[in-house]
Amino acid sequence: MSARLIIVGPPGAGKGTQAGRIAAAYGVPAISTGDIFRKNVADGTPLGKQAKAIMDAGDYVPDSLTNELVKSRLAEPDAAEGFLLDGYPRTLGQVDFLDALLADQGAAIDAVIQLVADQDELVRRLLKRAQEQGRTDDNEQTIRRRQEVYIEQTAPLVSAYDARGIVLAVDGLGDPDTVGDRIAAALAGRGLTAGV
pLDDT for the residue numbered 196: 47
Phi then psi dihedrals of residue 32, to 5 deg: -105, 135
The amino acid that residue 136 corresponds to is T
Average pLDDT over residues 63-69: 90
3-state secondary structure of 3: strand
Please tell me the pTM assigned to this model.
0.87
Cite the beta strand spans of the chain per DSSP E: 3-8, 30-32, 82-86, 111-116, 167-171
List the single range of 77-81, 126-130, 137-141, 154-158 with lowest mean pLDDT.
Answer: 137-141
Q: Go through the domains of the chain in sequence order and give each one's CATH number.
A: 3-189 (3.40.50.300)
Average pLDDT over residues 79-90: 93
User: Does residue 31 contact residue 181 with C-beta atoms inside 8 Å?
Assistant: no
User: Does residue 109 contact residue 102 with C-beta atoms inside 8 Å?
Assistant: yes
Catalytic residues: 15, 90, 129, 135, 146
pLDDT for the residue numbered 1: 57
